[in-house]
Amino acid sequence: MKRVEGRQVAKANNGSRMKIVTVGMVLIGLIATTAVGSASAGQYLVQGVGNIKCTEFTGDSDENGAAYKEDQQWIVGFITGYNNALVTSSMDSNIGKGTDFDATMKLVYNYCTQYPDDELTDAAHGLMGYFKKGGS
Claim to verify: residue 58 and residue 17 sit in the same structural domain: no
Q: What values do phi and psi take at 95, rounded to 5?
A: -55, 130
Distance CA 9, CA 2 (A): 5
Claim to verify: residue 74 and residue 128 sit in the same structural domain: yes
Name the DSSP letter for residue 118: S
Claim to verify: residue 103 and residue 67 sit in the same structural domain: yes
Q: Residue 86: give the domain boundaries.
A: 48-132
Q: Comparing C-alpha atoms, which of 81, 57, 82 is closest to residue 70?
A: 57
Rounded-to-5 percentages of helix, strand, coil across the chain: 65, 5, 25
Claim to verify: residue 29 and residue 82 sit in the same structural domain: no
How many structural domains compose the chain? 2
Claim to verify: residue 26 and residue 57 sit in the same structural domain: no
Claim to verify: residue 67 and residue 117 sit in the same structural domain: yes
Claim to verify: residue 73 and residue 18 sit in the same structural domain: no
Claim to verify: residue 27 and residue 62 sit in the same structural domain: no
Give the model confidence (pLDDT) of 30-85 as tens digits.
333 333 323 334 788 888 999 999 999 999 988 889 999 999 999 999 999 988 88
Claim to verify: residue 90 and residue 116 sit in the same structural domain: yes
pTM of the predicted model over 0.75: no
Claim to verify: residue 55 and residue 33 sit in the same structural domain: no
Give the model confidence (pLDDT) of 111-128 as tens digits.
999 999 999 999 999 999
Claim to verify: residue 18 and residue 62 sit in the same structural domain: no
Sign of CA dihedral 76, 77, 79, 84: positive
Q: Which segments of 1-136 are extended strands (E)?
A: 2-4, 7-9
Claim to verify: residue 107 and residue 66 sit in the same structural domain: yes
Burial pattern 19-52, b for ≥16 Cβ within 10 A else e, equals eeeeeeeeeeeeeeeeeeeeeeeeeeeeeebbeb
Give the model confidence (pLDDT) of 4-37 as tens digits.
333 333 334 445 444 443 444 433 443 333 333 2
